[in-house]
Amino acid sequence: MTMSKGVVVPPGGGRRLEEASGQVMSMKLFGRETGQSVTLFEQTVPAGSKSRQLAASAS
């Protein structure tokens, strides 16, 4: 059995990318850290605005 290392990134933690629109994306886990199997991010969207990433994936 192969043992894997866990990754813990606290809320608001990770590499922050702020856009001019006020949206903030925190990169929690990069593909390079998981053998290209997973990339994980948390997005904060100001009240009343829409996420461009979610709108693009719905089209």
DSSP per-residue letters across the chain? ----------TT-SEEEE-TTS-EEEEEE-GGGTTTS--EEEEE--TT---HHHHHHH-
What does the pLDDT read at residue 5? 73
With bands split at pLDDT 50, 70 and 90, how would you rate the model's confidence at 1?
A: low
Residue range 35-54: mean pLDDT, rounded = 76
pLDDT in tens, 7-23: 788 877 888 888 887 78
pTM of this structure: 0.53
